[in-house]
Structure 1
Amino acid sequence: MASKVIHAIYNDDDILMNAVKKVRAERHHIEEVYTPFPVHGLDKAMGLSDTRIAITAFLYGCLGLTVAITMMNFIMIEDWPQDIGGKPSFSYLENLPAFVPIMFELTVFFAAHLMVITFYLRSKMWPFKEAENPDKRTTDDHFLMEIGVHGNEAELKELLLDTGAIEVTVKEKNA
């Protein structure tokens, strides 16, 4: 990683999108883009790969279904079978229709809660973590593109000003 970064501030999301495309076309690595709201298509323009959180959601749902089946079999069939309304609980398959809502609810519960935890851990957003926003204006109405400097500072500044940046500054990287 670079020890210096260039922060280019933009005041319009369309100008930012065009700037990201031009900077990537010039083969510069964009380290991060800070925006006050989600910008549609920015991830594709930056060349970010697709997320794999759907795969984890499926695996977490399978885990929830497994827990539900195991729990209901143990509680209702093996540990404490009960005669409810004259219908004895001697086998799991005889009572399966009554267990379907519980299986569905635990599948959704595990998938949702574990996906949120995975998202926070993957994003490195733990409790009491300080914000890493380099410029407070990006929480209101400005956009910031952060690019690593590798000995091409003057060329990069000129390129960013040509793309419509309203402010370009060079800063030390907070590694």
Structure 2
Amino acid sequence: MASKVIHAIYSDDDLLLQAVKQVREARYHIGEVYTPFPVHGLDKAMGLAPTRLAITSFLYGVVGLVVATVMMNYIMIEDWPMDIGGKPSFSYIQNMPAFVPIMFELTVFFAAHLMVITFYLRSKLWPFKKAENPDVRTTDDHFLMEVEVGNHNTRDLTEFLYQTGALEIKLIDNK
């Protein structure tokens, strides 16, 4: 992380989105953006790589489907076959239409619960973790863009950020 960063605070999400595009065009490096709600298109404007969470969710759903299939085959066919309503349990394939709701529910259950766990692990959100939010107003109604100063002139960068519509700018030394 850079030793000096500038925190530019904005009051509107559209203004922030435009400012992010201008800062990237001017070849400044944006460290992080803090917003009170998700801003549509901000990830693309910042140049972030696409997420692989959808692939992970699909794989978790497949795990749930496999667990449901193996569980029902073992319980209802191999371990304790029952004659329910005159329909004997000779094979899994013959009884599969009755198992579809269970397969669906376990697929959704595994995908949802494992995605929540993955999100918390990936975001490093542990119980009782102290918030890393640099300004409490970003949880309410303001937006903060953290720009790394690097070897740029601080005054020129500050003036540039004011021109993009920043309400307030703070120079932070991370030593």
Interval of TM-score (by shorter of Structure 1 and Structure 2): over 0.9
In the TM superposition, structure 1's runs of 4+ consecutive aligned residues that sit over 6 Å from their partners are: none
Separation (CA, whole Å) in 1 of partners of 2:85 and 2:37: 56
2:12 — aligned with what? Answer: 12
Counterpart of 1:171, as a letter, is I
Counterpart of 1:26, as a letter, is A
Q: What secondary structure, in the 3-state scheme, does the structure 2 residue paired with 1:30 have?
A: strand
Question: What's the CA shift string for 1:17-36, capped at 9, x where partnerless?
Answer: 22111100011111111112
Separation (CA, whole Å) in 2 of partners of 1:135 and 1:157: 18
2:158 — aligned with what? Answer: 157
**1:91-106 correspondence runs (5 A):** 91-106=91-106
Between the aligned residues of both structures, percent identity stands at 74
Q: CA deviation at 1:108?
A: 0.9
Q: TM-score, normalised by structure 2?
A: 0.93
Q: CA deviation at 1:55?
A: 0.4
Q: TM-score, normalised by structure 1?
A: 0.93
2:32 — aligned with what? Answer: 32
Question: What's the CA shift string for 1:63-95, capped at 9, x where partnerless?
Answer: 000000100011111111112222221211111
Q: Which moved more, 1:139-148 or 1:66-75?
A: 139-148
**1:60-75 correspondence runs (5 A):** 60-75=60-75
Counterpart of 1:151, as a letter, is N
**1:1-175 correspondence runs (5 A):** 1-152=1-152, 153-173=154-174
Structure 2: give runs of 5+ residues left out of the alignment.
none
Q: CA deviation at 1:38?
A: 2.0
Separation (CA, whole Å) in 2 of partners of 1:120 and 1:144: 23
RMSD across aligned C-alpha pairs, in angstroms?
Answer: 1.4
Q: What secondary structure, in the 3-state scheme, does the structure 2 residue paired with 1:88 have?
A: coil
